[in-house]
Each structure stands twice: as structure tokens, then as C-alpha cells.
Structure 1
Amino acid sequence: MTRILRFIQSSDPRGGGPIEGARRFAQTWNELGHTQDILTLEPHDAPILPDYPGDIFHLGQPYGRGPLARYRYSKKVVPWLRENASKYDAIIVSGIWRYQAVAARRALKNSNIPYFVFPHGMLDPWFNKDKPYKVPFKKLSWLLVEGPLLNSAKAVFFTSEEEMRQAKNIFKPYHVNGMVVNYGAPDLVGDKISQAQIFRKMVPELDGAPYLLYLSRIHPKKGCDLAIAAFASIASKRPDLWLVMAGPDKLGMIPKLRAQATALGIMDRVLFPGMLEGDAKMGAFREAEAFVLPSHQENFGIAVAEALAAGTPVLISDKVNIWREIEADGAGIVGPDTVSGTTAVFQSYAALSESERAEMRDRARKTFKSRFDVDNAARSLMAILQDRS
């Protein structure tokens, strides 16, 4: 049995891909006789992931508005790591630019415990362009924390060739032992008909109508406004088609998106059902005509892989780092993360015949099985961890 510790900022499933990937890998590893515990920077009374097959340790401070609270500083973490790291065969640090990087660097730099780092797209140059005022602080942090942490890791894991390519030399010195590892989502389980019924009951307005599905955080990075603008461009050509925008809205963006849809005359065909989980989520993926994600930056896109598992074609931007694989396999349509680029993607999809859409669904499913099945990815990553630990 191999014991892994995953050090991640939060285990809240609303956080998206990193924790979703961690929990899915843990499930597969558990079935193979291995364990993965989780260490977070959440407060001690934070909710525990239901049915997680390992221990979860919350050692963070209460949430607050101050700089240390936002950085998720906790004086408990470094002593805990120094005391408990030897209980594990390897440690995976998920994410950078928060206190988990500082704590991992301080606690592990003189230890014999092998550690690995998932940047999870946080070295993408888009972030420097989006918030240039943070760049000087990041350069200093790289010199003191992230650079030494990554440069001393047994390996730094990237989830696509595109992510690894973009990360090079964004910050210097850069002497990272990077490698691309398989990543993905679990195959769909459960009854397709009952899952579809559960989802449809949550959105009775659809009344059986076809729809395009956005399922991710409601966040400026995700291009939600682009999806609405592009949908407006095909609404008259497909009067039967709806747009479902599902996901948690921590930033309160939905009123603005509703106003945009109203101004474009499509609000009566755009739904915001909130975060979908379990059978409702599976039903949404299975029933959708296509999945849409015109993101401005996407390290991997767990939801893209989940859609492919359902045999649902994906309409994505070329800032989703697995876009080359999608385009090569014909499992969806790709375009720039602009209004015109997203509109062109939607219009290309709307122009497909029924038989062409059916063929794309078949290719989507094949792409999932050959590239993005999390069971295969978890086995592959465990072999790497065992080989390098």
C-alpha cells in the first residue's frame, strides 16, 4: 500500500478542477489498495467531503478579509507537516501562490520525503496579463518560495503539453523537472434515463427541449458572457434550443449575465440552475446537445472530460489546454476566446446536420476512453509516484 498526502488550499467541491481531480484519483487509488489523505488551509470546522476514502485535515484559520487571511496563512501547518510527513510515501502539493507553497517549502526542504507539485495552470501567462499589478509580487514570491519549491520537487506535473509549454520561463530562474501526466474524469455510472429525469425536474422550463450546457463556476475567467453572446447569434436559427448556465456564483455575476441575455432578447431561453451535483449533473451532461466552455484560461478542464464521457461534443476556446486533442479527434469545435471566435464556434455547430452531430458524439466518447478516463490516469500517476519515491 502506498500512502499519499495531498496538500491543497481547499477541499470545497465548488473550487472546481483541482479538488475534483484529487478526490477522483483517491477513489481509484483506494480501490487499488492505496490511500490519499488531504491537508487543507480551511478552518477546522469546514465541511468534510462526503464519502471521501481517506482522512481530511483542516488546519487553516477562519476566513477573513485581511491579507494573511486571503493568503490562507496558518501557523499550524508547518509543525504538522514536520511531524506527520514521514507517515507518507509521497506528498503532492496542489497549487501555488498561496500559503501551501510557503508551508511545503519550509517543512519539506530538509526532509527525505519525496514531494511533487501540480501547478494546476497557475503558471499560465494569462494571469499576468489579467492582473499585471500582481506580477512584481509574484516575481518576488517566485524567488523566495515557488521557484525553490518547484525546482527541488521530484517532478512538477502538468496535465497537457500546452500547459507545460506555457509555463516555461514565465518566472526565472526556471529549472523545473516538468512532465506531462495523464488526467481526466471518471466514466459515467448510473441509469441514464433516471438521471435525465432528475435533471429535467430541476429545470422544468426546458419541457424536454434540447439545450447547450455550460457547467462550471460562474466566473469572468470562464467566458460566460461569450457563451451568451454566441448563443444569441444562433437563437433564431435554432428556435428550439436553450442555453443552460449551471454552476456556483461566488462573485454574484448572474444578475449581470441575466441583463446581457435580456438585452439580446434571449433571456426566455437561458437558465441558471446553480451548482449541479450527483445524478442531476450526470443527467445534464447526458442530455445536452453540446457542452460549452469559451474560457480565457483553463489548465485542463475536468468538466470537458466529463462531457466527453457522456459522449457530448464540446464547444471550447483555444485557451482550454486540451484543445489540440479535441480538435485532432474531431470531438468538438475550437475557436478563439473572443466574441467573434465563440460565435463562429456556435455557428459552426448549428450548421451541422443531425448525422454530423451524431458522428461527433461518437468521436467525443472515443476521445474520453482513449485519453481522459481517470481510472487510467490514476493508475499511471501512481506508477510514477512509486517509481520516483
Structure 2
Amino acid sequence: MRCLHVVPSLAPEAGGPTTAAIALVQALCDRGIDAEVATAGTPPPLPFPVHGFPVSPLTVRQYGFAPTLPPWLRSHLPQYDVVHLHGCFAHSSTVAAAIARRHRIPYLWRTLDHLSGPSLAQGTWYKHLYLRTVEAANLRGAVFHCTSPTEAEWVQDWAGDRPVLTIPLGVTPIPEAPAARCTLRQRWGIPADTPIVLFLSRMHPKKQPEILLQALAGLDRPWVALLAGTGDPAYLKGLAQLSTNLGLGDRVKFLGFVQGEAKTEALRGSDVFALPSQSENFGLAVAEAMAAGLPVLVTPGVQIAPEIAQAEAGLVVPPTVEAWRSALESILRNPAQRQTWGRNGQTLVEQTYQWGAIAERLATVYHQLIAGELTHPERG
């Protein structure tokens, strides 16, 4: 079975969606599936076949217009048995879906929270117009891949009678780093007994790091916050200014984009993970934090929040400054509770978010698509 994954970007800075796509394709390859990737931009070196296509300098925002991608897809897509699309409102997904329909190749569409109410509220008019015009036939031909039940409910509004499947993401094991607590504090000049709150995500208004900063500003006890991630320079400048205005000084440190050993050090060396995001279709960074043994603070908009609450792996906190301040006060004053929640989170990840099992489920779905058991896409 040959499967082509179409991913808007494989740049590490793209965050969780890219990390998940790479890990997913690798897990499929490990199980004997002939999986490849087509992407806009220059991909990093990877252990499976990747076809990269230059992005036009005239592209709009994150649409990723790659003019040489459509001809390649028209020529090569018939060689594949199934297509797995990643993300909406991307040139790569739109053209791949259209060409797959013409060749009657079944396609699974991972929507990445792009069809949720909060996401569609950002740029409402043009997103709705795009879905109802450019993407209408493509949506009618898809089988949808969601990573949480809540995301599936949002997608169902656009899917009509098309199948909507819920298959979570996996988590790549976080390397052990016994010295991380020491080296992280040495690197950033943090006292050994000061707890570290880690925010590790793409810097975007949707992630609401402002809530975290404002909540921390009202705490009397010692703390240091590490904000790791990249984003729009103007937005990052605004966050730094907010930190200054709140008088947080060197208690807030902006790490920029981290990966590899630096990411492992941040995860293994911190004490609490915090993500006050408006919405997350899964929350891969949260799952990675649990895999590293960190207790997590999240909002109900993080779609694995119910699992976190049930496993007692952290706190699910309404997205208000007052609620977050209270939650931070509680978790920072209780090291024993942090350790218990951290162990519970590791157990949750080990039992639920393993790439091997998820790849097996997807392989079954691919076979069902090819056999017509989930219906073939419409022609159009």
C-alpha cells in the first residue's frame, strides 16, 4: 500500500502539527506501509521519502502557494493508493484533494482544528467563503481525521454525511536527562529551589500567553517562567512589553524556538507546564510535557483536557487571570502534588498515546478506504 501525506510545511518552527505529521509518517513506515510526504517549502532531512516544492514569494500568509506542486501531483498521485491531507486553508491540501477526486483516489483529511468554531472565528468571512466555494467539492469527497471527540463535533457541521473518525495523536518518547534540572537553571541563572513554569508552544494570540503572564504577576511566592516558541515578531515584542509593564523583570525568559536537546532540557528541567490556549485540536505539547513527567495546567479548550482531568495529571482551568492565578498558587506550593500529577500524566501517555497503536489504527482505515468500506470520494 502506497500512501502520500500532503503537509503544508515541515519547518520545525511550524510546531505541533509538523512534529505530529513527521512522527506519524515514521510510525507508518515502521509498520511496513510505503508512506511518503509532499510539502511546500524546503523539507529537513528525514528517514522517509519527502518531495518538497518551493513556495512562491507572492503567497499570502500561511497559505503556502507552491506553483510546481499541482503538476507533480497530477503526474504522480495516480501511483498512490490513498492520500492523507494535513490541515485546511492551505494550497497543498486544496489541490491534492481536487486531484485525488478526479482520479478517484480516496483521501483522509486531518483538519487540525481549522474547522472548529474558535478557529473559524479568526477571519470569519473569508474562511467561510473559502470552505463554501473553493473547498466545497473537496469537503464532500473527504473522510475526516480528528484527534479528539470535540474536534469531531465541530467537523461534523461541515462533513455532512461523510465519515468523521476520531484517532488521537501519539507522543514520541522524551529522552531521559538526569542533569536537566541543574543545567537548565545554570543556563538561565535560576536559583536551584525556584520552581519553573514552562510555556512551550507557537507564540500566537490563540495560545493566550498573556493570561499566564498576568496570572503570575499576582503571585507572592518565587517562580520563573520560560516561554519557548516563535511567532510574529510584532506579537513577541508585545509580549515582552507586557512582561515589562507587569514588572516581571528577569523572572520571565523568552527562549525562542527550541528543539532537540534544548527542548528536552526544558521539558525535563521544569516543574510545571502551562498552556492557557483558547483551543487545541489535541495539544501535542501538553502530551509531550506529560510524557516528560510534568504536571500540566490547561484550559477546557485543549481537547485532551477531559483525559487530563480523569487521569489527575494536572488542572483544567477556565481561561481567566483569576482562575489561573489560583491554580498556579496551588500547584507551586505543593511539590508532592506536582510529582503525583506528573506520574499520572506519564501513565496516561503510556496507556493512550503510543504511535505504534495509532499507526495500526490508521493502517486499518487506509485499507477500508481503498476497499470502499468508508466510501470513495465523489468525482468532480
Q: Please, which of 254, 261, 267 is the counterpart of residue 285 of structure 1?
A: 267
CA distance in 2, matches of 1:70, 1:222: 17
CA distance in 2, matches of 1:106, 1:363: 44
Counterpart residue number, 1:54:
48
Counterpart residue number, 1:380:
361
Q: Please, which of 178, 200, 204 is the counterpart of residue 164 of structure 2?
A: 178
CA distance in 1, matches of 2:62, 2:275: 28
- Matching of residues 133-282 of structure 1 within 5 Å: 135=125, 137-153=126-142, 155-169=143-157, 171=158, 174-189=160-175, 191-194=176-179, 199-200=184-185, 203-208=187-192, 209-234=194-219, 236=220, 238-239=221-222, 241-282=223-264
Give the share of equivalent positions with the same residue, in percent: 27
CA distance in 2, matches of 1:96, 1:285: 30
Counterpart residue number, 2:377:
none
CA distance in 1, matches of 2:283, 2:173: 15
CA distance in 2, matches of 1:198, 1:35: 41
- Gapped regions of structure 1 (runs ≥ 5): none
CA distance in 2, matches of 1:90, 1:128: 28
Give the C-alpha shift of residue 70 in structure 1: 5.7
Is the 2:7–2:93 Cα contact (8 Å) retained in structure 1?
Answer: no
Give the C-alpha shift of residue 357 in structure 1: 1.9
Counterpart residue number, 1:85:
77
Q: SS of the counterpart of 1:362?
A: helix
TM-score by length of 1: 0.88
Cα RMSD after superposing both structures:
2.2
TM-score by length of 2: 0.90
Give the C-alpha shift of residue 147 in structure 1: 3.3
Give the C-alpha shift of residue 375 in structure 1: 3.0
Q: Please, which of 362, 367, 371 is the counterpart of residue 348 of structure 2?
A: 367
The AA in structure 1 aligned to 2:17 is: P
Give the C-alpha shift of residue 192 in structure 1: 1.5
Residues 141, 227 of structure 1: alpha-carbon distance in 2 compared, 3 angstrom cutoff: same
CA distance in 2, matches of 1:251, 1:381: 38
Is the 2:82–2:369 Cα contact (8 Å) retained in structure 1?
Answer: no
Is the 1:26–1:53 Cα contact (8 Å) retained in structure 2?
Answer: no
Aligned residue pairs: how many? 369
The AA in structure 2 aligned to 1:111 is: H
Give the C-alpha shift of residue 195 in structure 1: 5.0
Q: SS of the counterpart of 1:185?
A: coil
CA distance in 1, matches of 2:189, 2:257: 17
Is the 2:195–2:332 Cα contact (8 Å) retained in structure 1?
Answer: no
Q: SS of the counterpart of 2:242?
A: helix
Q: Please, which of 330, 341, 353 is the counterpart of residue 348 of structure 1?
A: 330
Give the C-alpha shift of residue 74 in structure 1: 3.6
CA distance in 2, matches of 1:252, 1:90: 41
Q: SS of the counterpart of 1:36?
A: strand
CA distance in 1, matches of 2:66, 2:259: 31
CA distance in 2, matches of 1:32, 1:174: 33
Residues 250, 198 of structure 1: alpha-carbon distance in 2 compared, 3 angstrom cutoff: farther
Counterpart residue number, 2:38:
39
Q: SS of the counterpart of 1:145?
A: coil
Q: SS of the counterpart of 2:256?
A: coil
